[in-house]
Amino acid sequence: MENKTDLKKKLSPLAYHVTQENGTEPPFKNQYWNHFERGIYVDVITGEPLFSSLDKFPSSCGWPSFAKPIQKLVTKMDRSFQMIRTEVRSLKGEHHLGHLFSDGPVDLGGYRYCINSAALKFIPLEQMETEGYGQYLSLFGGNDETKS
């Protein structure tokens, strides 16, 4: 795991605040809230795969929303701001990503992973193989990048 000094050099101030200080970026003013290109979203620090664009949906909340993760994530009770919420953290790095709510579309399972863009890096479908995420091409129907 990288130390705080190295992370401050590697990350933008906002990404550091979100991932290391359990921060939240402004709604509707973040990179991926309205982004629907095909590909996967990975942890901005560790690169571990988190979400597929296939499970992303428009929630009108101002942050990227996903019905489910690609792999298991860490969840913890969050009692900050006089609320009780479920915090979502990456499995490998245990970095703060966002929160999990049970108000997602019923046809997608009913969950909404509300995630900060600053905690994510997007890997476009056509770059997944070269970026080392070829094993996740099967989510999109195989390893032929031209499939829709």
Q: Which pLDDT tens digit goes with each residue over 45-73?
A: 999 999 999 999 999 899 999 999 999 99
Name the band, by pLDDT with cuts 50, 70 and 90, for residue 92: very high
Q: How far apart are CA 17 and CA 9, in angstroms?
A: 13
d(CA 91, CA 103): 23
83 pLDDT exceeds 50? yes
Domains of the chain by start residue, with CATH: 4-140 (2.170.150.20)
Residue in 114, 119, 26, 122 with CA at minimum distance from that of residue 65: 114
| Mean pLDDT of the region 10-26 | 96
Active site residue 114: yes
Residue 147, pLDDT score = 45
Q: What is the C-alpha to C-alpha distance for residues 91 and 69, in angstroms, rounded to an integer?
A: 11
Q: Which of 44, 114, 115, 139 is an active site residue?
A: 114
The model's pTM: 0.91
Q: What type of residue is 87?
A: E
Average pLDDT value for residue range 38-42: 98
Beta bridge partners of 112: 101
- pLDDT at position 143: 57
Mean pLDDT on 92-113? 94
How would residue 84 be classed by pLDDT, with cut points 50, 70 and 90? confident
Flag whether pLDDT at 144 surpasses 80: no
Over the chain, what is the mean pLDDT?
A: 92
**Confidence check: pLDDT of 148 > 50:** no
Residue with tokens 């009913």: 110
